[in-house]
Structure 1
Amino acid sequence: MPPTRLATLLGRAVRQQRHLRDLTQSELAEAAGVTQAAVARIESGSRAASIPVLERLFAAMDVQMVVEVEPLEAHLDARIGELAARPIAERIDELGLDETLDRLTDFPQVLTGSTAALLQGAPVPVDAVEIALRWQDSKRFTRWLETNYGQRWNARWGEFGGVWLEPEEPGEHRWSTRYGEIRATMCDELPETIEVRHGGRDYRVVPVVELELTEPRAAELLRRYRARQLAAEG
């Protein structure tokens, strides 16, 4: 089964708390008495953890879960508001974007999707580095994945692994690697880009206006954010 929203939210909470304490996945796993692989799966949202395991993970970081309910869709506005208040540099660091890009040097690629929207100031959730790359570079990408412990998303089992790495094989273009999750848009030619600069680094990104035409999820979140802004101004 595909990951649920709750599994994604819980995984994000574990990852954020771990980053705040400057812990590695292995260090947290040892403190909580679970495996590093289990922590990785929980943080990615690919598998829902049991309540006892989650309690052990949070207890190892001196925090606890609080359960609340809210009307459907309310979480979107809350999430957008939270992200709008956070510095872009902080979100770039949390995503591990620079480290990933420093190693994606074997083939040309550009940033797209929610990653590109983030770098242009859009308060959209970003759980993976999203790139566009050409089909003609797919073999080089496959070799890069093999070198960096890549595992492809297996939609049937709702987790990474157990399917062929190659982009030519059927399935979502989504991989876990030693540097985090990467999602790819395969294309014949790379899309037109603009350059944005953060922290002394230039990033090649697909413009927001183009993303709004090609990324329905990002477009919906941007629409909600702008509606919130208009409401606040009114």
Structure 2
Amino acid sequence: MPDSRLTRQIAAALRDERERRELTQRRLADLAGLSQGTVARIERGDRVPSLPVVERLFAALGQQLRLAVEPLDSHLDAALAGLAGRPLAERLDELGLDRTLDALGELPYVLTGATAALLQGVPLPVAAVEVAVRWRDAARLTAFLEREYGLRWNARWEEWGGLRLEPEEPGEHRWQTRQGELRARMCDELPEPVEVRHGERSYRVEPLIQVELTDRRAADLLRRHRQRLGAAPAARGPAR
């Protein structure tokens, strides 16, 4: 699969415009004189489309792309700056963290990724509650997902549903539940956590130094956050 930011942006823009007009992929393909498979691959980001093909697709939607340039990844700096000014309690409530953890009940877990970084004082974007879960607890995770009417992310069709809930089944470990989105990193043993306290609650989180080793996306954002602050590259300790 192409690892291109522009390819992903074109895919998302095309999908959003098509859905906004309530067109199927097949109907858009007919309008643009392409195959439905071509449209599907472009929307999934599996194919780097040529500029003439992109122009044909958006023209079929009555739209055209506009080219602009900006400093490299400046949108990330703006996003990090905006998140830094928001209260942590507000972001945790928006994420539905406590609701999700209460619903997990006695399932053993450790918070990981951007969720763990956020709880340790780093204002990263967090789209889902991220946890590490042992493989031997997979059945308990599945039971939670069934209770919460979970739907699994289908990367092939870029939509929720159509896949079995069980972590053992092939597919990304992402589920949409009544409490919000949950992402799991399945492992043989849980990472050694540190305890972080906010308000009246304590959280078991993966230390930042481990987050940087296990989550490439979070690690990149952590480095960018430190560069913005002019901080040394050493990992910060947990906020208490």
TM-score (norm 1): 0.70
Q: Within 5 Å, give how 1:44-59 maps onto structure 2.
A: 48=16, 50=19
Q: In structure 2, how many angstroms separate the alpha carbons of the residues matched to 1:159 and 1:197?
A: 35
Q: CA deviation at 1:124?
A: 0.9
Q: In structure 1, how many angstroms separate the alpha carbons of the residues matched to 2:82 and 2:95?
A: 16
Q: CA deviation at 1:4?
A: 5.0
Q: Within 5 Å, give how 1:209-224 maps onto structure 2.
A: 209-224=209-224
Contact 1:120-1:196 at 8 Å conserved across structures: yes
Residues 12-71 of structure 1 show CA distances to partners (whole Å, capped at 9, x for unaligned) of xxxxxxxxxxxxxxxxxxxxxxxxxxxxxxxxxxx7375579xxxxxxxxxxxxxxx662
Q: In structure 2, how many angstroms separate the alpha carbons of the residues matched to 1:97 and 1:136?
A: 24
Q: CA deviation at 1:123?
A: 1.4
Could you tell me which residue of structure 2 aligns to residue 189 of structure 1? 189
Look up the equivalent residue of 1:118 and give its one-letter code. L
Q: In structure 1, how many angstroms separate the alpha carbons of the residues matched to 2:184 and 2:9?
A: 21
Could you tell me which residue of structure 1 aligns to residue 235 of structure 2? none
With over 3 angstroms needed to count, the CA separation of the structure-2 counterparts of 1:168 and 1:225, relative to structure 1, is: same
Could you tell me which residue of structure 1 aligns to residue 121 of structure 2? 121
Look up the equivalent residue of 2:175 and give its one-letter code. W
Could you tell me which residue of structure 2 aligns to residue 15 of structure 1? none
Q: CA deviation at 1:121?
A: 0.7
Any stretches of 5+ residues in structure 2 without a counterpart?
2-6, 23-67, 232-240
Residues 68-95 of structure 1 show CA distances to partners (whole Å, capped at 9, x for unaligned) of x662511111011111111111110110
Residues 176-200 of structure 1 show CA distances to partners (whole Å, capped at 9, x for unaligned) of 0011000000011111000001111
Q: Which stretches of structure 1, 4 residues or more, deviate above 4 A after TM superposition?
A: 3-8, 49-53
Q: In structure 2, how many angstroms separate the alpha carbons of the residues matched to 1:95 and 1:112?
A: 14
Per chain length, whose mean CA-contact separation is higher, i.e. which structure has more relative contact order (CA < 8 Å, sep 6+)? 1
Q: In structure 1, how many angstroms separate the alpha carbons of the residues matched to 2:199 and 2:223?
A: 28
2:195 matches 1:227: no
2:199 matches 1:199: yes
Look up the equivalent residue of 1:175 and give its one-letter code. W
Q: Within 5 Å, give how 1:80-159 maps onto structure 2.
A: 80-159=80-159
Contact 2:103-2:144 at 8 Å conserved across structures: no
Any stretches of 5+ residues in structure 1 without a counterpart?
11-46, 54-68
SS of 2:230's equivalent in the other structure is: helix
Look up the equivalent residue of 2:104 and give its one-letter code. L
Percent of aligned positions that are identical: 61
With over 3 angstroms needed to count, the CA separation of the structure-2 counterparts of 1:81 and 1:179, relative to structure 1, is: same
Q: CA deviation at 1:6?
A: 8.7
Contact 2:132-2:185 at 8 Å conserved across structures: yes
SS of 1:182's equivalent in the other structure is: strand
Contact 1:106-1:144 at 8 Å conserved across structures: no
Pairwise CA RMSD of aligned residues?
2.7
| Farther off after superposition, 219-228 or 201-210 | 219-228
